[in-house]
Structure 1
Amino acid sequence: MEKTNVELLYEWIDNTTQIIQQHENEPYLDSLAITMETLFYQTISDDMDDILSHKLQNALSEINFSAYKIDEIRKAIQLATLKGMKDSTQQQHLMTPETVALLVGYLADKVTKEKKQISVFDPASGTGNLVTTVLGQLKQDIEAFASEVDPTLIKLSVLNANLQKKNIEFFHQDSLRPFLLDPIDLVVADLPVGYYPDDIRANDFKLKADEGHSYAHHLFIEQSMNYTKEGGYLIFVIPDFLFDSDQSDKLHSYIQEYAHIVGVLRLPESAFKSEKNIKSILILQKKGQDTSAPKQPLLVNLPSFKNTNGMEDILNQMNAWFTTYHN
């Protein structure tokens, strides 16, 4: 069987990363960043020793990077990142799965398609997979921003954006601290789940816990809302238990006060390893002078992604729902 371009590029990235990893004795993800840098600049960094430099020069001569499409590049990087994450990262660092990112992109296109120009922000960008996938599906002139606190992940996301020729301005900071950022038309985020350790900073939020640590995923919703224009949209990948947890009453009233719930899509259980990892997609619109709640929010239980007929049927229903929503 002939290999696809994605497989060929992934193999090249993976082999090169392993050469660097063995030589430098660095973790896979850090070595992957060096591979991506080498691929982007098409030259070898001066501070490498001769042996590694020679090996990378050979590797570069074996690949014609300009022959690959943006989509193939994104998928190959995604596979390499997933490999690196298998060994090292904590639960909250897991990458947004491809199908989920594509769905978020589809929804982003649906809610913004009346606009000629939009600004997009991902406050929890990780390796940049979600934000670059979404940007690939939007047709407008886009100004894009993303934020990530982890130094390895932000390095990967900047390189990921560069290799895909996506123009994104990155903030390397704790995303729950203030940003130098004008209000945005669209926020997309795969919410980091867990407790936020900085109680002093959490005190500035309406959704802070009455006692003990606050939930980071709640604070991210509020922070995103603070940076969204009136009438702007927010699309979150949320844990399935978001509205059933001990602090969810506060979240309910906050959302009712500041936003309209446009829709909730429950992702198929088959897409997740265990029941406690199941996620949904929540679509909100920030309230503004000319906004109103949809007569009936879009509520969808998605079939297995492998069930193509079921998925096609649901997408047709969703397309019809959005037509009425915009009218």
Structure 2
Amino acid sequence: MAKSLDFWYDGTMNFEKIEAAYELMLENIQLLQNQLTTNIYDAMIEQNMAYINSERTDKTILKNNANLKKMALSKEEWRRVYQFLFIKANQTEPLQYNHQFTPDSIGFILSFIMDSLLSEEQLEILEIGSGTGNLANTLLNNSQKKLDYLGIELDDLLIDLSASMAEVMGADLHFVQGDAVRPQLLKPSDVIFSDLPVGYYPDDRIASRFSLAAKEGHTYAHHLLMAQSIKYLKSGGYAIFLAPNNLLTSAQSSLLKHWLKAEAQLIAMVSLPETLFGKKELAKSIFVFQKQDEEKQEAFVYPLKSLQDPEILRHFSQSFKKWASENAK
């Protein structure tokens, strides 16, 4: 049985400890940034390595890391520490929009949807565009399932960040670097996640291999990633995407819908509050697809108007669990 969405506050976490750990990490990162004359993200990777290997000779860094180890942070406490560090870093050295981490509130919903749809206790999951690894850790820390996780990410900085953070946290995560639009040697997964990067894919030659490729100009990268993702799903598996609100009405949507008829069916769509994304044009919804089979099912459609109101979240979770018990396979 999947959790409801009443579990957002984890009473086992010590927020004073999280704040203290954040201050120690930040001091070390800023010291390393000055010593190495590098950006804050590379300094974060260096701090992760220093924490793991205790190889830095700087007395302050060694002392702070020793104190961090004494705190014995849980995986979820570590995840919160890193979130605060990314928020701080983003104030002076912003990551591009497609590299921003998926908000916790959405990550919890994605975890809840996965747990509600699948009865198996162990799942193989793949994340397309794993970024900083925040969504991966949200899933692993909050799902009631045992997850065998693999993330694929093109950006080498993000790969180094997510892998080094996972090692510090003791998280059982695996990452590979690569362009997810191009074919990869990956085993089939039960569930595929992606907070889809939005934009055009620059290589028209590669895009032309897909049936949903635009006839003229560049093809949407998020369309190509969706098409490639479905190939990595087991029969009956689920693809859970965070995608633009206009996914099914945009300029290239007719190509996408034609492809969907043959490959997958939309089984659920949950719209999210536009205020969560800052600008209306950046707003996304959750789209859940199932690898195509002959049996059609009634789609679950729900406008989730708030991620803060407990009653709205409770109604959503009850509605989805009821639908899943009647429709999910």
Q: TM-score, normalised by structure 2?
A: 0.90
Partner-residue secondary structure (3-state), 2:142: coil
- CA offset at residue 3 of structure 1? 5.3
**Residue in 1 that maps onto 2:309:** 307
Partner of residue 263 from structure 2, selected from 258, 266, 276: 258
Structure 2 equivalent of residue 92 of structure 1:
98
Checking the alignment, whether the CA contact within 8 Å between 1:270 and 1:304 is kept in structure 2 is no
1:32 matched to 2:32: no
Identity %: 29
Asked if 1:21 is matched to 2:21, the reply is no
1:306–1:139 CA distance, 2 compared to 1 (3 A): closer
Structure 2 match to 1:143: 148
Partner of 2:251: 246
CA apart distance, 1:28: 0.9
- Give the Å deviation of 1:62: 2.8
The corresponding residue for 2:209 is 204
Query: Per-residue deviation at 1:63?
Result: 2.3
1:1-327 alignment runs, 5 A limit = 4-41=16-53, 43-45=54-56, 53-64=58-69, 67-86=72-91, 87-112=93-118, 114-288=119-293, 292-294=295-297, 296-326=298-328
**Partner SS, residue 62 of structure 1:** helix
Corresponding letter in the other structure for 1:44: E
Q: Please report how far the alpha carbon of residue 81 of structure 1 lies from its aligned counterpart in structure 2 after TM superposition.
A: 2.0
Give the letter aligned to residue 29 of structure 1: Y
Residues 181-238 of structure 1 show CA distances to partners (whole Å, capped at 9, x for unaligned) of: 1211110110010111112211211221111111110000001011111101000011
In structure 1, what is the Cα distance between the partners aligned to 2:165 and 2:113? 23
Q: TM-score, normalised by structure 1?
A: 0.90
Partner Cα distance (1:26, 1:13) in 2: 16
**Is 145-154 or 239-248 further displaced after alignment?**
239-248
Task: Output the CA distance in 2 between the equivalents of 1:185 and 1:57.
Answer: 42
Q: 1:165 to 1:293 in 2, by over 3 A?
A: farther
**Alignment partners' CA distance in 2, 1:39 and 1:298:** 46
How many angstroms apart in 1 are the aligned matches of 2:140 and 2:96? 26
Deviates more, 1:309-318 or 1:98-107: 309-318
Decide whether aligned partners of structure 1 residues 163 and 298 sit closer, same or farther in structure 2, where only a CA change above 3 A counts. farther
Q: For the residues of structure 2 that align with 1:83 and 1:325, how far apart are their CA atoms?
A: 43
Say which SS state the counterpart of residue 165 (structure 2) adopts: helix
Match of 2:68, SS state, is coil
Gaps of at least 5 residues in structure 1 are none
**Distance in 2 of aligned mates of 1:307 and 1:173:** 39
The 2-side partners of 1:44 and 1:207 are apart by 51
The DSSP-based 3-state class of the residue aligned with 2:101 is coil
- Contact kept, 8 Å, 2:213 with 2:255, in 1: the verdict is no
Letter in 2 for 1:4: E
Change in Cα spacing, 1:245 to 1:195, as seen in structure 2 (3 Å) is same
Change (3 A) 1:40 1:105: farther
Structure-1 separation of matches of 2:183 and 2:242:
22
**How big is the alpha-carbon RMSD for the aligned residues of Structure 1 and Structure 2?**
1.9
Per-residue Cα deviation, 1:244-263 (whole angstroms, up to 9, x for no partner): 21101111121222112110
| Contact residue 108 and residue 134 of structure 1 kept, 8 A | no
Please give the secondary structure, in 2, of the residue aligned with 1:245.
Answer: coil
Contact 1:85 1:94 in 2 (8 A): no
The count of aligned residue pairs is: 315
